[in-house]
Amino acid sequence: MSVLNNLIDTVIKYWKKYRLNLKIKDLSIGPHFAICILNNDSTGVCHNISVSKCKPDINELRRNTLTFSEISKQILLDDKFLDPLSLITLAKSDIIFEKILGIACINAISQHILVKFNKNLSFDNKRIAGLDINPDFKIGIIGSILPIIRQLKEKNVKKIFLKEFIEEKIPVSLSGISIVNNLEFIDEINVLLITGSSLVNGTIDEILEKGKNCSECILIGPTASCIPNPLFKRGLTRIAGTMIIAPFKVRDIILNGGGTRDFKKFGKKYFIKKG
């Protein structure tokens, strides 16, 4: 069974065990993220991978921006978008519009569960997933998380591998990084950082299988704000997400085309270590 299927099953088990009664307050898609806000303000976001260009044109941005009311009009007779327990199952959909909404909802429910039941939640805005970075680390990154790459360069990490399809995303100023096209580099590293987008593009299972021998295997970013248990069972050692503390401010930023850099001040970074 895939990690995503395990994740859905785990959320459903929590829902039934604790008789959760959560409703969707808002569901929106911007050009770079989708957001799901529940009636208790627990919030989840998911990277919208359908806009893959570095600088998509304005018409493309508009096509990928939908408010809750617009989504509701499109699916007027379809309750699966309005019931959280049904919505999360859409994370298995081959339709990207449905999949990112499903994962955003998984993350929203996860945030409620993590706050209520997880005592290992640690907040840390300065370190990467609570790691003390050693310059001698050999670090691999899947997905161009530029703030993290800059942080690693500031720590004088000499060996950094980056798997990124769109090389134009990497500023020229960040030199000395090995850009790779496949996962073979994982055999040469001891720390693997994986963007949460791997949940969306379907690569997470293969990556975790390849990275099981790394001393640290970490899922990171706003899209990684899910229950960690199913990923820990597959070899993940830490998960680092973002707890949204001003949901509707973040929603407005997302609908106006903003991304992590724009809404991070309305969130709190946290990490959870495998016990």
Q: CB–CB of 179/167 below 8 Å?
A: yes
- pLDDT tens for residues 205-223? 999 999 999 999 999 999 9
Average pLDDT over residues 163-172: 66
Number of domains forming the structure of the chain: 2
Beta-bridge mates of residue 271: 122, 240
Please check whether residues 222 and 139 belong to one and the same domain.
yes
DSSP 150: H
The range of the structural domain enclosing residue 200 comes to: 122-244+268-273
Q: CB–CB of 144/164 below 8 Å?
A: yes
> Interior CA angle at 143 toward 141 and 148, to 5°?
60
Dist CA 32 CA 235 (whole Å)? 29
Q: What is the mean pLDDT of the chain?
A: 88
Please check whether residues 103 and 196 belong to one and the same domain.
no
Please check whether residues 239 and 131 belong to one and the same domain.
yes
Please check whether residues 109 and 150 belong to one and the same domain.
no
**What is the C-alpha end-to-end distance of the chain, expressed in Å?**
23
Structure tokens at 15: 């829902």
What pTM value is reported for the model?
0.90
Q: CB–CB of 39/84 below 8 Å?
A: no
Pairing assessment for the beta strands 33-38 and 43-47 based on DSSP bridges: antiparallel
Please check whether residues 164 and 79 belong to one and the same domain.
no
> Interior CA angle at 49 toward 45 and 50, to 5°?
120
Q: Where does the pLDDT of residue 164 fall: very low under 50, low under 70, confident under 90, or very high at 90 and above?
A: confident
- pLDDT tens for residues 117-146? 877 899 988 899 999 999 999 999 998 788
Please check whether residues 112 and 183 belong to one and the same domain.
no
Average pLDDT over residues 56-62: 46
Please check whether residues 74 and 134 belong to one and the same domain.
no
Q: Which one-letter amino acid corresponds to residue 8?
A: I
DSSP 227: -
Please check whether residues 58 and 89 belong to one and the same domain.
yes
Please check whether residues 172 and 85 belong to one and the same domain.
no
Dist CA 107 CA 110 (whole Å)? 5
Query: Which one of 82, 117, 152 terminates a domain?
Result: 117
